[in-house]
Amino acid sequence: MPAVRTVQQQRSERSKTLDMSYLESTVGFAIRRAQMAVFADIFRAFEGTGITIVQFSVLATVADNPGLSQADLALALSVERPRMVPIIDALEQRGLAIRIPSQADARFRDIALTAKGQKVLRELKQRFAKHQTKLLKKLDVASADETLAILWRLADGRSRDKFHAN
């Protein structure tokens, strides 16, 4: 990993300073940067496992809600239903989850973890816990609860909206 340099330091020699004060005072710009940093950190935490962040989210959700449907998963994770198909495919191919045709209603597949899936999830959760501990060390003033409270207050009531990032 290269040493971290600021935008100003990396900027070409033509001019020395860059005034980003306007955007840096906006929640939108700050939250984008924060999300990039947090996801990059999770990405590193899962390095070598071959498990992506969405796949981890699916595993964790299925563990606490065995037998839920793909549509429910998509809704819970704010992902479009069609995208769940290749995600579950990958988990099934690696032997971590299975689709069980529902007895009660043949349109549904009940998603469940295999024993291997449960074992892998435990390992991933340990990695994730280390990541989050490291992350919260950055927040020496604000507590973890306070941080989550602010984030959820920002997210409140809007998580189901559709939009295009630009």
Partner DNA sequence: TATTGTTATACTCTATAACTATA
Partner DNA sequence: TATAGTTATAGAGTATAACAATA
For position 106 contacting a second copy by CB under 8 A, the verdict is no
The nearer residue to DNA, 82 or 156, going by C-beta atoms, is 82
Q: Which does 119 bind (CB under 5 to 8 A by kind): DNA, a second copy, none?
A: none
The nearer residue to DNA, 76 or 151, going by C-beta atoms, is 76
Cβ burial of 129 (10 Å; 0-12, 13-18, 19+) is exposed
Q: How far is the CB of 6 from DNA (least distance, A)?
A: 16
Residues paired with residue 111 on neighbouring β-strands, in sequence order: 68, 99
Which region among 20-28, 83-91, 113-121, 125-133 touches DNA (by CB under 7 A)?
Answer: 83-91
Question: What's the CA gap between 44 and 22, in Å, rounded?
Answer: 31
Q: How far is the CB of 83 from DNA (least distance, A)?
A: 5
For position 151 contacting a second copy by CB under 8 A, the verdict is yes
- Length of the chain counted residue by residue: 166
For the CA atoms of 131, 31, 150, 126, the dihedral, rounded to the nearest 10 degrees, stands at -10
